[in-house]
Amino acid sequence: MYPENHGKKWDMEETNKLMKEIKILNIKEIAKIHKRTENAILLKLIRNAAKLADEDKNLNLYDLSIITTLNVKTIINGFKKINYNKFEIKPEPEKKSINKYIIGGIIIIIMLPMLFSMGYK
């Protein structure tokens, strides 16, 4: 069963209340107060972050994270879901595997004593 305000439009008063509450309450508590789902609260925060970014061109993802209390990754994922493209979000670069270097180093460490014992100096 959905909360009482499920699907209802947010007015400015409720949005302002949310932005104050997010500083002191968690999303679950806020959802109960507003009679909305936790997902609705998260989505409203994402949409509000996009609106703020449009209004103030100097805001970056870190600023929006502080204002909404959402982590940057959550904001980025939320922006993708609502197709908000103000920020150029590059995919994370592939992490280069250092395993082959570690294994090579281990082999050298193991082999050196054997080579020295065989007379290689």
Tokens 């104050």 correspond to: 20
Contact 45, 68 (CB under 8 A): yes
pLDDT of residue 99: 67
Instruction: Look at residue 25 and tell me if it is in a domain.
Output: yes
Instruction: State the pLDDT confidence band at 106, using cuts at 50, 70 and 90.
Output: confident
Rounded CA-CA distance 63/72 in Å is 9
Instruction: Look at residue 116 and tell me if it is in a domain.
Output: no
Instruction: Look at residue 113 and tell me if it is in a domain.
Output: no
Range of the domain at 69: 12-91
Count of domains forming the chain = 1
Rounded CA-CA distance 24/21 in Å is 5
pLDDT of residue 82: 94
Tell me the average pLDDT across 74-90.
87
| Tens of pLDDT, residues 22-79 | 999 999 999 999 999 999 999 999 999 999 999 999 999 999 999 999 999 999 999 9
pLDDT mean across residues, the chain: 87
Instruction: Look at residue 32 and tell me if it is in a domain.
Output: yes
The tokens for 11 are 């007015």
Instruction: Look at residue 4 and tell me if it is in a domain.
Output: no
Instruction: Look at residue 51 and tell me if it is in a domain.
Output: yes
Which residues lie below 8 Å from residue 71, measured CB to CB, with a gap of 6+?
65
Instruction: Look at residue 35 and tell me if it is in a domain.
Output: yes
| Cα R_g (the chain), whole angstroms | 25
In percent, the amount of the chain with pLDDT more than 70 equals 80
Instruction: Look at residue 54 and tell me if it is in a domain.
Output: yes
